[in-house]
Chain A
Amino acid sequence: MKVWVFSEEHHGRPAASTLELLAKAREYGEATVFHVGPGGDAVFDELGDHGAAEVHHLDPGATLPAAPAAAALADLVGDAKAVLFGMGNLDRDVAGRLSVRMNRPVASNALDVISEDEGQAVVTEILGGTLRVVKAITADDPAIVIVRSKAFTAEPVGGSAPTVVPVAMPDVGHSGAVRVLERHEEPSEGPDLEAAEIVVSGGRGLGDAERFTIVNELAELLGGAVGATRAVVDAGWVPYSLQVGQTGKTVKPKVYLAAGISGAMQHVVGMKDSSIIIAINKDPEAPIFGIADLGVVGDVHQVLPKLIEALREREG
């Protein structure tokens, strides 16, 4: 049975979520990819290396392709076992539309998809990861599932170059008329947040954009990546690409240092699986202390400068 993976590319490589989903898809069925983007041999070969035998490729050009992609997918998937999406914006746009086209529900925030006698089900966590839920899907296949980042671990399996099937952009009329006029990229520095072994994250407790930079200083010194809460991103102190949590990135570093972060449920789901969590917060009641291996009740602007100084001294 085919298991489809919705695939996108990022800087000329398959998106991290695509490769994670392929790890599940090739174990769950016959991994088949629906790829949206400019494509090219490098992208397709990497998809093959991760176990995709077949790649259906839609090049949307300057259209935001949610509606045409959903229409094309609905025609292709037939009664496949499942269609797996990541948490990205286009993933959600296409999954939602596909669900209406096929009159099937979307199972969101999945950590796993399982097949049982009674049919398929997804495993998710709710209420900040405190409760594990098994949600049964009673609709006919395919199951349409949105999977959280890092639910599966990407691993190349040495597969050969896949068969690439070009997909024409279907004409969906007014629904499909969304034009991308220009793309703006904010340059990012330092190690990749999602892959870093150390993440130093700051919250509103840092005070303001200028004082937030002490987080950058510490991260740089430790060779780690900078993360942030949504409160800080919304305030414009740092770009969205640094947001950790439910609507941002999921990180699982060796060490996560949370400075001036309260530990809201939506933040915690993005970092609670870090090996070691260190938190600094001046409020002893802050929820972040409930999951920290080391909690320091104190002022970030007292603790961090001393830590930085001590680290500098060690480096000599």
Chain B
Amino acid sequence: MKIAVCAKQIPDPATPYELDPEHHWIVRPDDQILDDTDRYGVEIGLQLAEASEGSVTLFSMSPAGNLQGIRQALAMGADKAVIVSDPALKGSDALVTAKVLARAIQQEGFDLVIAGTESTDGSAGVLPQQLSELLEVPALTFAKAVEHDGDTIRIHRQTPDGYDEVEATLPAVLTVTAGVVEPRYPTFKGIMQAKQKPVEQLTAADLGFDATEVGAAGSAQYVRSVTPVPARQAGEIVEDDGEAYRKILEVLEQAKVV
């Protein structure tokens, strides 16, 4: 099985995000990390590849930076990476990003494309579905368990109060929820090998895009204003001395819920 895994590099969520004052885009440092959400996709991709003597290629669109995010996914065991990186792509919305990734994936060829359900920094939550429509394949979305049997992929699809068993045949797109598997930690050997693995870097033009079709120019939405939301006032903080439950009781009484 030829597996394409979407892997987004994002600024470390443990650091405060900054917006550039002109366009209000997230400032992307050189040392972006792998979106934690995509570690699940990488893990599922590796498991499916191991079971089918297949391969895993990572696809990512973002400033390449020092590539540490992509190296993280390569160190887990992915075979290679294709990164679309171009100043012209700055300001791309989900639809444009989907178009770019679709073309890169198509150029490489695929049986299965795996993505997360939503990115940690953007959380548009629609890119994989856009990819599936662009690639003209079925989408098995919100999987919390994945099985495969030859050309058939079957998932447990998360529903509001349980799950549906759903299946489709390849080629297809699959999106996985966090918690679907326990992503493996890179081994020392994996980390060393990752340094040698092929990372192909493409520009928008390499994929046949005109500069007006991508980036902010190609995106039909833009941030017009950003204003701080008045912060909720923090209230009283008490240290529990064994009696703090009384405070809680008081608040419940004042709220007339007991």
Contacts and interface: CB of A to CB of B under 8 A. Distances in A.
Interface stretch (B43-51, B76-84, B162-170, B200-208): B162-170
Contacts of A294: 235-236, 238, 247-248, 251
Nearest to B144: A240
Interface stretch (B55-63, B67-75, B189-197, B217-225): B217-225
B129 interface: yes
Interface string B172-210: 000001110000000000000000000000000000000
A60 interface: no
A57 B19 CA distance: 43
Contacts of B157: 64, 89
A99 B95 contact: yes
B114 to A, nearest CB: 16
Contacts of A108: 94, 123-126
Contacts of A53: none
A290 B234 contact: yes
Nearest to A234: B179
Interface string A158-185: 0000000000000001111111111111
Contacts of A92: 125-126, 129, 141
B126 A177 contact: no
B141 A89 contact: yes
B232 A291 contact: yes
Contacts of B130: 96-97, 99-100, 106
A125 B165 CA distance: 34
Interface in A281-307: 284, 289-299, 302-304, 306-307
Interface in B124-141: 124-130, 132-134, 136-141
Interface string B236-256: 111110101111110110010
A184 B224 contact: no
A236 B156 CA distance: 15
A106 B118 CA distance: 14
Contacts of B24: 133
Contacts of B35: none
Interface stretch (A19-27, A30-38, A271-279): A271-279
Given A89-B159, A137-B220, A177 B168 contact: yes
Contact of A239 (B161, B228, B255): B161
Contacts, number: 262
A214 interface: no
User: Which secondary structure characterizes the binding site on chain B?
Assistant: mixed
B93 interface: yes
User: Which secondary structure characterizes the binding site on chain A?
Assistant: mixed
A131 B228 contact: yes
A295 B17 CA distance: 26
Contact of B129 (A95, A138, A186): A95
A12 interface: no
A311 B245 CA distance: 10
Nearest to B182: A234
Contact of B251 (A96, A179, A188, A293): A293
A157 B36 CA distance: 45
Contact of A222 (B98, B220, B225, B252): B252
A314 B244 contact: no
A188 B161 contact: yes
A230 B132 CA distance: 27
B158 interface: yes
Nearest to B229: A132
B84 to A, nearest CB: 18
B229 A109 contact: no
Contacts of B161: 185-186, 188, 239, 241
A34 to B, nearest CB: 17
Interface string A91-121: 0111111011101111111000000000001
A240 B161 CA distance: 7
Contacts of B127: 96
Contacts of B166: 64, 178-181
A306 B245 contact: yes
A135 B91 CA distance: 13
A106 B127 CA distance: 10
Contacts of A64: 157, 164, 166
A77 interface: no
Given A177-B169, A276-B251, A314-B258, A296 B133 contact: no
A30 to B, nearest CB: 24
A302 B240 contact: yes
A138 B126 contact: no
Given A105-B221, A130-B231, 4 more contacts: A133-B223, A181-B154, A240-B158, A303-B240
The 9 lowest CB-CB distance pairs between A and B, nearest first, are A96-B129, A298-B240, A234-B179, A139-B220, A293-B235, A96-B126, A100-B133, A295-B237, A97-B133
14 contacts: A89-B141, A95-B129, A131-B19, A133-B24, A178-B138, A178-B140, A180-B164, A188-B161, A235-B179, A293-B235, A296-B248, A298-B240, A299-B240, A307-B245
